[in-house]
Amino acid sequence: MPHRIKAQRGVKSRKAMRTSKKTVKAVKNVKPGTGRILHSKHAVHAVKKSKPAQNPVVKSEPEVVRRTIKKGVLQSVRGMRDILPHDFRYWRWFKDTARTIAEQYGYQEIDVPIVEDVSLFRRSIGDVTDVVQKEMYEFTDAGGDRIALRPEATAGIVRAYIEHGMLNLPQPLKLFTMGPMFRYDRPQSGRYRQFYQFNVEVLGSEASVIDAEVIVLAYTILKELGIETTVHINSLGSSESRIQYKKILQAYLKSRKNELCDDCQERFLKNILRVLDCKNEHCQQLIADAPELVDSLDDESRKHFVSVLEHLDEVDIPYVLNPRIVRGLDYYNRTAFEFFSADQENGRQSAFGGGGRYDSLVEQLGGRSTPACGFALGIDRVISAIREQKIEPPTQPAPAVYLAQIGDQARKRALQLFERLRKAGVPISGNLAKDGLRQQLELADKKGARFAVIVGQKELIDGTVLIRDMESGMQETVDFKKIEKELEKRLKI
């Protein structure tokens, strides 16, 4: 019986993280030289009175030294990029949409570590796949363990399913996760070394309707984001039918083996199915008339496949039977699918996502025999398509109130007021670093605020604030204590 694989030692749970945040706060409040924990105002007082440290601690920056330096300028590592604040509206839209739809379909969110034992990926994705052989970020940690940055999420989720005895929960278990994956591939448009996936897994059912459900889920998410897609679908059958088909394919290609590209010559020996999805044009010509896997399917797999297609017909999901869909990871059997742009005939470009059934993986990793099915969407690629097609994410509602302050004392009051209004549910924004009133009112205007709340020197003394109607320019003085009520009245919250 294969042994179970556990979560990487030392990877913190969310609870543990929370504890460490508290520790940071406590450490910050230690009065210099006493080791005593002080709270809020006492701490400020102590800091004011404390002398500057004799030997200021200079933070070492080993991570900075290790980063790529180009002409003296630090840059992100090749194939990895920053997602900047102005791009976040796309990412937030994708994530919110995917999460909402997945939850509507009864899927629960799960997070698994980014780092796992190397053997998990070797045993699941397969030793002779490109992902494991060429693309895995693999290293030995300080404790001597061989670990890897996850190239995909399915293996980690299956490991967690076994490790936490989730097979004892009501089945099928429907899960989703989102996060970064890592593959050391040649970077190009739509292909990164750190990329993001939205991943869905259903464990504990072999029903064909589950295959259809996950396809409908991915399709619906893409549709909701304005992307028209076609599902390219195939069946990989059982392992026995694949063994038989591989022999047929080998016999077919034997006389033409030397004409295959270098990669495919290797694949011919190790993983001949991958010749079918080679992007090289000459290889594609050579396999154009190759026998198809679907003709070698065992009866059960054929029935299952037909049933999946019938379900898709029922919900009008556009699909193409594509014998070239064989998937790049070894754990698949039966249904395999990828999502391509609807205007693409041949499905030779980058897929938005892909997935399929993996009925043996749980057992292969040490669990009880559990059929399963899932997919992952490449978030980077979906967002690129959204941008290329000039699809605009829904705009965020403008903040109704802008908080402006004049002078240092007012700023202290404004910081407190900001929190009060936030807690009261007032949609508020502001820029506490700004001083000039005109500049702040311009910002309020730009943000589309309906009202500005102005805290000035005079108002501070009087215990009041000004509420300015941004449309009419009319200003009214209101009691500082009653500001929430006054705003609620005006905003009809």
Contact residues: ligand HAM, CB under 6 A = 152, 154, 183, 185, 190-192, 195, 197, 199, 201, 328-329, 351-356, 374-376, 378, 380-381
Shortest approach of ligand HAM to residue 407 CB, angstroms?
A: 50
Shortest approach of ligand HAM to residue 176 CB, angstroms?
A: 10
Give whichever of 268 and 339 is closer to ligand HAM, judged by the CB atom: 339
Shortest approach of ligand HAM to residue 26 CB, angstroms?
A: 41
Give whichever of 195 and 402 is closer to ligand HAM, judged by the CB atom: 195
Residue nearest to ligand HAM (CB): 378
Give whichever of 201 and 359 is closer to ligand HAM, judged by the CB atom: 201
Give whichever of 325 and 465 is closer to ligand HAM, judged by the CB atom: 325
Shortest approach of ligand HAM to residue 353 CB, angstroms?
A: 4
Shortest approach of ligand HAM to residue 377 CB, angstroms?
A: 6
Shortest approach of ligand HAM to residue 428 CB, angstroms?
A: 38
Give whichever of 93 and 352 is closer to ligand HAM, judged by the CB atom: 352
Q: How far apart are CA 175 and CA 170, in angstroms?
A: 13
Shortest approach of ligand HAM to residue 432 CB, angstroms?
A: 39
Q: Which two tokens stand for residue 94?
A: 């994708």
Strand order in the sheet with 475-479: 428-430, 401-405, 451-455, 464-469, 475-479
Give whichever of 199 and 301 is closer to ligand HAM, judged by the CB atom: 199
| Beta-strand pair 108-109/173-182 | parallel
Q: How far apart are CA 301 and CA 294, in angstroms?
A: 9
Give whichever of 222 and 312 is closer to ligand HAM, judged by the CB atom: 222
Shortest approach of ligand HAM to residue 77 CB, angstroms?
A: 14
Shortest approach of ligand HAM to residue 265 CB, angstroms?
A: 23
Give whichever of 371 and 378 is closer to ligand HAM, judged by the CB atom: 378
Give whichever of 217 and 351 is closer to ligand HAM, judged by the CB atom: 351
